[in-house]
Amino acid sequence: MTRTPNKTTAKAGHQSRSASACRVALIGFGTVGRAVAKILCESKDSPLRLTHICNRNVERKKQSWVSSDVVWTDDPRVVLSSNAQIVIELIGGLHPAEEIVRGALEVGKSVVTANKQLIARHGPDLLQLAASHGCQLEFGASVAGGVPVLPALRTGLCGDRLTGIAGILNGTCNYILSRIENARIPFSEALEEAQARGYAEADASEDLDGGDARAKLAILALAGLHTRVVPESIRARTIRPVDAVDFDYAADLGCTIRQISRADLRPETGQGTLFADVGPCLVPSGSPFGRVQRNLNLVLTSGQYGGDMAFLGAGAGGDPTAVAVVSDLRFVADRLSDGGKQDAKQDAAIKVSSPAISTDFETPWYLRFFVRDRPGIVAKLAEILAAHHLNIDSLLQKPGFDKAALPFVITLEPCRDSVLHPALEKMATLDFSIRPCLCLPILRES
Amino acid sequence: MTRTPNKTTAKAGHQSRSASACRVALIGFGTVGRAVAKILCESKDSPLRLTHICNRNVERKKQSWVSSDVVWTDDPRVVLSSNAQIVIELIGGLHPAEEIVRGALEVGKSVVTANKQLIARHGPDLLQLAASHGCQLEFGASVAGGVPVLPALRTGLCGDRLTGIAGILNGTCNYILSRIENARIPFSEALEEAQARGYAEADASEDLDGGDARAKLAILALAGLHTRVVPESIRARTIRPVDAVDFDYAADLGCTIRQISRADLRPETGQGTLFADVGPCLVPSGSPFGRVQRNLNLVLTSGQYGGDMAFLGAGAGGDPTAVAVVSDLRFVADRLSDGGKQDAKQDAAIKVSSPAISTDFETPWYLRFFVRDRPGIVAKLAEILAAHHLNIDSLLQKPGFDKAALPFVITLEPCRDSVLHPALEKMATLDFSIRPCLCLPILRES
């Protein structure tokens, strides 16, 4: 019986210790939300105190390891009218996430979110809204999960002037492509495997077709290049047509294939031009990109003063993403404890330019054809390329394939996309092609 | 003649724009100092304004590209009694750097420094001093130059609980070792080459013998593992005995050799034990460490929640280091503009433990002998190893060497340093050895 008072004291002690801590409400109690709550509940001497958990059908979600004084609710309005100082938005998607984030900022609550679609679309406006209400908006978990790229752009790299960012930003694509690379299995089999392991959703279009990576690239461009980019203005090429045979041909070129998202800022005229592209590319097998396996993420930054930096780590998963969320929480709480208004800084953060967006990279190219074989095919293709002043760098045709569906490859010396495109349109009309030509940029190391 | 007023207006305009900017004084105008001044002078709309440059014989240092209203002085006291809000200390070494940093903090000026020896030795005390005077101390440039590891520990990874940090922290050693690896030249030749290229000083002992890396590891342990470590308590092994032949034998084991600094926190009892070591190690050729070439730096962190992260970039050089300094300046200026006192946070930052320091890693080992060949040598060594219950994993002897100076290698299955050490002492008494046995840990990927 003597132990009960002790236990009570200990519990009460915990609460009183954290009474001065920053009050945090969590909206969205899925994988990441649970991981965030775990870290908050497990941390001793934390400057953060979880006060609310909000989720649909919240009764079914309750966990015994959550402090008994946390309020469980399925109504976000309860959170918005509470005394929480920071709202964590982890429900994802545009609605009702946008309304909740705006609602929180409008009543002076700071917001931490992992919502890439929301930030990619409305980041500049929401930052402005936060500034005008003297509160903060952080979104470090919205790109590359636990890889601290966004915080690095905000801190350790903010003294540089970045000119380019490139990354493997979608773990699903990287899992699938590295599986095809290592096992030479068909795309469909690699996709099924990724789905079975929980690395890909049943409808994986957002991942495979580049929508997910494009949103992340828009956020990196905002945070690192200070450019406002509508995600849809970035060309996204799908990885679906990539075939096991492409890894054979890529290997002959010393390369492998990865989904690469890249943005280069060229401040030539006016607000400059942002060259941006998302999609499968040939990368040297021994390069940092070529060596990224499984569902890891890699981000490379290029700075005028600091040169190139690389960040590698787990791009997704509950725990790594939760680390990014909790790190943001600590950052925001730290500033709240300063007691100052945030206006000046957030204003600075949203001084963004709106450059023209171009996909017209000058690069060498990999063109892979599947044809019904007959004499004269190479001559015909070479003729079209010559007519468009495009220089062939190599021609690869491996033996042993069915002549009715023969894959072969032409690589081109560097040329602009806009010069290549008319030639590809011309080639698309040729009757011996049994699939559209797969056209991939070849990224050489700088 | 009409252009003169315009020019004047533009200049005055620049000064008035930056009147509300944070006032920054620079002490130490060497390579990094000049690069910092360049970035500050080139940045438009910067929240930072350079007010003083202090250096010995400052008259000879004056540069035309520095704004005419910057005060040049060779007396640090002029800076300490000025209205500068942040002092940048870039003179290096312990004295008078320590006195200047203490002097600045005591009059309420925040400090940004790249001084690894100072922070490694007095970091916790100086943080305490900063806190007690309501100002800030940042040292992001003191480890790995432009690689934003320290800022990442402070921000994007602060939500995790780190258990280990390992890195290639000394560019000089990495340049020398990767040169021997790639060209199989003698150590002395690689050192001379590094000196000729400016990658190594005339007296490179601090680099080669691990003093530099040890100081950086102590800082990483402070910032990432929240442990107070006296640099001298970390064992530092020199890279000087590493021979070109060691890369041949390492290659047979799928490995190469790098100077690795590592610290693992094991919170078993009390304040726990910090396993720490600096020195040459065998690492798999295909591992992140094995692939680091030239004078680059790589840092890996292991977190309880976020798993492993890797940071790669330029560890030294004026411009990359200056980016780290300017990033810290912006961070400090940002907080100063909040107007809040820093006490609470800095207090939190210096809640550090003082674990026991151990070098007693359990690891496989690479033992390389140079002997005057005669029958019975292997038998004798094997007998000693067996007597100490040490298991041989492999025995490598390449043909073609002079029998009077024959290199051969024994690798051991994992055992603790403390178990191996007595066996090594016993072996050191054997008369056929013509050089001390080179004993390197073999790091396998986890």
What is d(CA B182, CA B298) in angstroms, rounded to the nearest whole number?
19
The residue of A155, A168, A328 whose CB has the most chain B CBs within 10 angstroms, and thus the best one to mutate to test that interface, is A155
Any CB–CB contact under 8 A between B14 and chain A?
no
Report helix, strand or coil for B113.
strand
Write the residue in B147, B344, B351 that is nearest to A309 by C-beta. Answer: B147
Q: Which residues are bridge partners to B406 per DSSP?
A: B371
Per-residue pLDDT tens, chain B, 446 aa: give them.
333 333 333 333 343 344 579 999 999 999 999 999 999 999 877 889 999 999 999 999 999 999 999 999 999 999 999 999 999 999 999 999 999 999 999 999 999 999 999 999 999 999 999 999 999 999 999 999 889 999 999 888 999 999 999 999 999 999 999 999 999 999 999 999 999 999 999 999 999 999 999 999 999 999 999 999 999 999 999 999 999 999 999 999 999 999 999 999 987 666 789 999 999 999 999 999 999 999 999 999 999 999 999 999 988 889 999 999 999 999 999 888 766 544 444 444 557 888 999 999 999 999 999 999 999 999 999 999 999 999 999 999 999 999 999 999 999 999 999 999 999 999 999 999 999 999 999 998 65
Phi/psi zone of residue A329: left (φ > 0), alpha (ψ -120 to 50 degrees), beta? alpha
**How many beta-carbon pairs below 8 A join chains A and B?**
181
Set out the domains of chain B in order of their start, with CATH numbers: 3-147+321-349 (3.40.50.720), 150-314+354-358 (3.30.360.10), 362-441 (3.30.70.260)
Q: Which residue of B has its CA nearest to A159?
A: B327
Which member of A44, A216, A380, A403 is catalytic? A216
Shortest Cα distance from A232 to chain B (angstroms)? 28
Q: Does the annotation mark A426 as catalytic?
A: no
Contact yes or no for B309 and A311 at CB 8 A: yes
Among B112, B154, B323, B345, most A C-beta atoms within 10 A, so best to mutate, is B323
**Is B156 within 8 Å of chain A by CB?**
yes
Question: Complex ipTM, two decimals?
Answer: 0.87
Cβ distance of B320 and A313 shorter than 8 Å: no
- Report the gap between the CA of A291 and the closest CA in chain B (Å): 9
Which entry of B61, B109, B116, B216 is annotated as an active-site residue?
A: B216
| Residue of A110, A308, A309 to mutate when probing chain B, most B C-beta within 10 A | A309
A295: contact with B, CB 8 A cutoff = no
Q: What pLDDT does residue B258 have?
A: 98
Q: Determine phi and psi for B255, rounding to 5 degrees.
A: -125, 170
Walking along chain A (446 residues) 10 residues at a time, the average pLDDT comes out as 38 44 96 96 88 95 92 97 97 96 98 97 95 95 91 90 96 97 97 95 96 97 94 96 97 98 84 92 95 94 94 90 95 80 47 88 96 93 96 94 94 96 94 94 84
